[in-house]
Amino acid sequence: MCLMASVLWSQTWLVVSLGMASVFCFLLVLVIALRVMSFFATPAAQAGGKAGGE
């Protein structure tokens, strides 16, 4: 019983730490990808470096 509980807790910490890190990494890569996409897809961004009021 105690062993099962400790296995459950170790799995939980694994999912929590890896899960949060993975979600952040994925969305960080998405931020970078969107910036690259906007740079190539918006002529104003290519000309002026930064487009809009961000």
Which residues would be at the binding site for another protein (CB under 8 A)?
Answer: 5, 8-9, 11-12, 14-16, 18-20, 22-24, 26-31, 33-35, 37-38, 41-42, 51-54
CA distances from 12 to 5, 6, 18, 42 (A): 10, 10, 10, 44
Ramachandran category for residue 37: left, alpha or beta (phi over 0 → left; psi -120 to 50 → alpha):
alpha
Whole-number minimum distance, CB 15 to another protein, in Å?
6
Q: Output 49 or 53, the one with its CB closest to another protein.
A: 53
Look at residue 14 and give its three-state secondary structure. helix
Whole-number minimum distance, CB 45 to another protein, in Å?
9
